[in-house]
Chain A
Amino acid sequence: MEHIELFFKSIFIDNMIFATFLGMCSYLAVSKKVATAVGLGAAVIFVLTVTVPLNWLLDQYLLKDGALVWLGPEYADYNLGFLSFILFIATIATMVQLVEIVVEKFSPSLYNSLGIFLPLIAVNCAILGGSLFMQSREIETFGLALNYGFSSGIGWFLAILAIAAIREKIRYSNVPPALRGLGITFIITGLMAIGFMSFGGMLTDGDEAPAAEVETQVGSQNEYIQKDNTEKTDGDAKLSVSDVSTLTK
């Protein structure tokens, strides 16, 4: 069922942090303690779940090519797609303001510990990225958009939870001084991203559409790998390259 497929795909394969590195700034800044990481992760899940479907409605009835048909048949040629950025960011900023008010009322301690990072969710690449990917992958129904927002949020939450837990433990390790703090976090995140790539094998049962989406994103990577593969005339199996190309599909 495509809902379940989208759900697992967005959490593990197209993970917001590990596949596309969206939301890294707050990911790196808030992951020093697990408690604040959990709070921020929950806020991101909420904001994504709310903004992606809303932006889907905007996209469907305002921004797509020919979307203004509901106003009247003479509007069928209008394409307001260039306004996407401004409209998306406006909805996101409004929703984040709402979340801020709700959090302040229901959990003042969380509000205080998150500090400046709560309003900063508005400019978190992950939130805008969620809406933009929803638009570029042409998600078809409202239900799928809701699903996508929610599962992307869960993926982001999983990532920040993992790195916060690791960073708490790594304080007891013998990291070289120049790598302490930021440097080792980058390298650990890189290793975790490599680990998450192993999930890429989960959905390769002949789905052409998901492969195409990933390829437009990572088109440059596949281009070089595919060129090498197709120009091969002798039987030499370049195992490393072909394995890598199936991983990126």
Chain B
Amino acid sequence: MALLSRKDSKLILDPLTDDNPITIQVLGICSALAITAQLKASIVMAVSVIAVMAIGNVVISLMRNIIPSKIRIIVQLIVVASLVIMVDQVLKAYAYELSKQLSVFIGLIITNCIIMGRFEAFALGNNPWRSLLDGIGNAAGYGLILVIVGFFRELLGSGTLLGYKVLGDPIEKTGLYALGYENNGFMLLSPMALIVIGIIIWVQRTRNKDLIEE
């Protein structure tokens, strides 16, 4: 027996490819760019966003029939801000150095367009179970792009992944460095994240011709 019905599994799988929040819906780009110089930071940010989105979607969905329409943006902001405060405190407690690195970008999850966008588009009109799946799906789609960008930037920029030197040691000149390879320090600078995402969009739209504009 399948764990999720076909409609429900679409909620999780679609945002990973065809309906990706970053490359298709063009949401949540702000934090996707500045922190992806290291794979570890990307993973932590992705997990934080998944947590905030999943719980937030469920909370808003549970309250959907009692929120007056005029103040719904304020209510959404309060829910997200509270969840982000909790995530921030957890990070400060269990991963202090990483939280110093991510600094203001954890706070900026509040204004992450994906979260508010999904609240408006989905959670306000659907039951909690489907909202949970939608939240997880979209945040996972966001997280996927973050991890891909972080992977390439860290690998090409400093030759490490999650801190482990995978291409050899640049000082001792072992591994790939013995052949004359040098780290592309440019990749560690933020503009390259934009260009990597541009290339991801290019690859995605070449594979799926329906997404091409005009």
Contacts and interface: CB of A to CB of B under 8 A. Distances in A.
A binds B: yes
A191 interface: yes
B16 interface: no
Contacts of A240: 182, 185-186
A5 B32 CA distance: 29
A85 B89 contact: no
Contact of A187 (B30, B185, B198): B198
Contact of B171 (A83, A177, A232): A232
A216 interface: yes
A183 B201 contact: yes
Interface string B130-167: 00000000000000000000000000011010000000
B116 A123 contact: yes
A141 interface: no
Contacts of B170: 228
A52 to B, nearest CB: 13
Given A21-B30, A123-B116, A178 B191 contact: no
B108 A179 contact: no
Contacts, number: 173
A128 to B, nearest CB: 5
Contact of A86 (B85, B108, B190, B193): B85
B110 A21 contact: no
Interface residues of A, number: 65
B10 interface: no
A85 B78 CA distance: 9
B59 interface: no
Contact of B73 (A24, A93, A182): A93
21 contacts: A21-B190, A23-B30, A25-B27, A89-B110, A123-B77, A128-B107, A129-B111, A132-B107, A177-B212, A178-B205, A182-B213, A183-B198, A184-B198, A186-B195, A189-B194, A216-B103, A217-B103, A220-B188, A221-B157, A228-B183, A244-B188
Given A85-B85, A128-B107, A187-B199, 10 more contacts: A21-B193, A25-B26, A128-B110, A182-B23, A182-B213, A184-B198, A219-B100, A219-B101, A228-B170, A232-B171
Interface of B: 23, 26-31, 33-34, 37-38, 41, 73-74, 77-78, 81-82, 84-85, 88-89, 100-101, 103-104, 107-108, 110-113, 116, 157-158, 160, 170-171, 182-183, 185-186, 188-195, 197-199, 201-202, 205-206, 212-214
